[in-house]
Amino acid sequence: MSSLWNSVLKLRPQIKQFTVPVRNLNLLEYQSKHLLRKNGVAVQDFCMIDEKGCSEFEKFNVKEYVIKAQILAGGRGKGHFSNGFKGGVHVTTSRKDVDSISKQMLGYNLITKQTPKDGIEVKKIMIAESVTIKRETYVCILMDRQRNGPVLIASPAGGVDIEAVAEKTPHLIKNIPIDIFEGVTDSMANEVAQFLEFKGPLTNLAAVEIKKLWQFFLAVDATQLEINPLVETDENKVISVDAKINFDDNAQFRHKDIFALEDLAESDPREVEAAKHNLNYIGMTGNIGCLVNGAGLAMATMDIIKLHGGDPANFLDVGGSVKEEQVRAAFNILTADKTVRCILVNVFGGIVNCATIANGIVGAMKSMNLKVPLIVRLEGTNATEARRIIKESGLDIQTAEDLDDAAKKAVANAV
């Protein structure tokens, strides 16, 4: 999703209720832990089990195992499965139990406070080395819009219910703004470690981990790095036991390897298909499929459709440098949605050449059997040529005089 669309969704939250969530890269815990380990942050050893089996587990021998269902949501410890099984995080010393517990997780939906109501299917399970936890603390670094920069949030009362801590005992949470140029200094890391109630030599150990987390946050262009819990073990170690990282989509070009890890199984398939063609797909609840160029024009299109009593089913934003092939892909995505009763193309050609869009539309129409009415409004660069292309194609395309006329026709055709 482009940053422009992200901003639009922030400004117009009413759109968000109708849409799939904004697509920020979000990794599963095991992927986050691989990255953390690579950057020197202390995490436990672990191996993975999926529906294909557990070849890694055969070689993985530790005293006690933690079995953790991998989904893109937190609150797993207190969650439950669609088959009634309780808890997405289990601890056992028996290898047999690892097997039976995994079987009750794999392929079932895990429902937690943070998932949709039907939960999310578990396709992978992490088997980690258990650590004996003496204390659980909370550390999070995030980009804070209000403070225009990164903020470190810390609490000595970490664990599964940080939301309750924030609500009931806010004095146990500290927010510390970080100067982006200075970063997390030694004295700041020490102060946080002490606030987290690490004592004696553990204070320094915790401070070192906090600085590593900051270095990692910077290195990967994260927008959020949440460690809950950051634990103190009975062996006097400080370990990140759970990790949630969000990455800045605008820095994707710097982190192709990280973005390649994205598991698209939980994303809207239309959005995924659109992204493949460099298009932005925004799903909504109405029945008019809209192909537009630019987030601003999409908003105007939505307003004018609503003004005339209609409701958009979606927006496909073809952006500024669209090619014919992308228009064809856009049409395929729009028409695959069975709720779409008519398609409205609303393009204002500034950088976009309207003739390119017209050729794309004509090409797409010829190669597919479009069953819904199509209304086209093309204005701006090369609009006259575009109208000629559409007219001479002989295809059943309704053209519109202006945006108002286009919206009226779309609403009338969407019944």
Q: Tell me the binding residues.
A: 44, 75-77, 131, 228, 242, 293, 350-352
The 80-81 sheet, strands edge to edge: 80-81, 109-111, 120-121
Count the residues of the shown chain that bind Mg ion, applying the rule CB under 5 A.
Answer: 2
- Give me the residues that bind ligand ADP (CB under 6 A), please: 44, 66, 68, 74-77, 89, 91, 128, 130-131, 133, 136, 159-160, 228-229, 241-242
Contact 192, 207 (CB under 8 A): yes
Query: Which residues, other chains included, contact 68 with Cβ-Cβ below 8 Å and sequence gap of 6+?
Result: 29, 76, 88, 89, 125, 126, 127, 128
Q: Identify what 66 binds: Mg ion, ligand ADP, none; CB under 5 to 8 Å per kind.
A: ligand ADP
Identify which of 322, 345, 340, 339 has the alpha carbon closest to the alpha carbon of residue 395: 345
Q: Which is nearer to Mg ion, 68 or 211 (CB)?
A: 68
Q: Identify what 131 binds: ligand ADP, Mg ion, none; CB under 5 to 8 Å per kind.
A: ligand ADP
Annotated binding residues for substrate, written as ranges, equal: 293, 350-352
What are the phi and psi torsion angles at 344 (to 5°)?
Answer: -115, 120
**Cα(65)–Cα(89) distance, rounded to whole angstroms?**
10
Q: Identify what 89 binds: ligand ADP, Mg ion, none; CB under 5 to 8 Å per kind.
A: ligand ADP
Residue 112 lies near Mg ion (rule: CB under 5 A): no
Residue 228 lies near Mg ion (rule: CB under 5 A): yes
Q: How far is the CB of 372 from ligand ADP (least distance, A)?
A: 43
Cis peptide before 13 (omega within 30 of 0): no
Q: Which is nearer to ligand ADP, 32 or 223 (CB)?
A: 32
Contact 117, 151 (CB under 8 A): no
Closest residue to bound Mg ion by CB: 242
Q: Identify what 208 binds: Mg ion, ligand ADP, none; CB under 5 to 8 Å per kind.
A: none
> Which amino acids are annotated catalytic?
138, 226
Contact 275, 303 (CB under 8 A): no
Q: Which is nearer to ligand ADP, 205 or 300 (CB)?
A: 205
In the numeric block, which tokens belong to residue 206?
């915790």
Q: Identify what 75 binds: Mg ion, ligand ADP, none; CB under 5 to 8 Å per kind.
A: ligand ADP
Q: How far is the CB of 98 from ligand ADP (least distance, A)?
A: 13
Residue 379 lies near Mg ion (rule: CB under 5 A): no
Residue 226 lies near Mg ion (rule: CB under 5 A): no
Q: Which is nearer to Mg ion, 27 or 295 (CB)?
A: 27
Please state, in angstroms and as integers, the Cα–Cα distance from residue 17 to each residue in 12, 22, 114, 118, 284, following that order: 10, 11, 16, 18, 9
Q: Single out the segment in contact with Mg ion by CB under 5 A; choices: 124-132, 150-158, 234-242, 318-326.
A: 234-242
Contact 407, 305 (CB under 8 A): yes
Q: Which is nearer to ligand ADP, 91 or 208 (CB)?
A: 91
Contact 139, 192 (CB under 8 A): yes
DSSP-based three-state secondary structure for 370: coil
Q: How far is the CB of 323 from Mg ion (least distance, A)?
A: 44
Name which position in 29, 242, 271, 379 contacts Mg ion (CB under 5 A). Answer: 242
Q: Which is nearer to ligand ADP, 128 or 389 (CB)?
A: 128
Annotated binding residues for Mg(2+), written as ranges, equal: 228, 242
User: From residue 185 to residue 224, what is the string marking binding to Mg ion with x (rule CB under 5 A)?
Assistant: ----------------------------------------
Q: How far is the CB of 45 from ligand ADP (least distance, A)?
A: 10
Q: How far is the CB of 267 from ligand ADP (least distance, A)?
A: 20
Please state, in angstroms and as integers, the Cα–Cα distance from residue 312 to each residue in 55, 209, 294, 309, following that order: 48, 49, 16, 10
**Residues facing residue 26 across a β-bridge:** 246
**Cα(237)–Cα(244) distance, rounded to whole angstroms?**
21
DSSP-based three-state secondary structure for 244: strand
Residue 44 lies near Mg ion (rule: CB under 5 A): no
In the numeric block, which tokens belong to residue 332?
């395929």
Name the site residues for Mg ion (rule: CB under 5 A): 228, 242
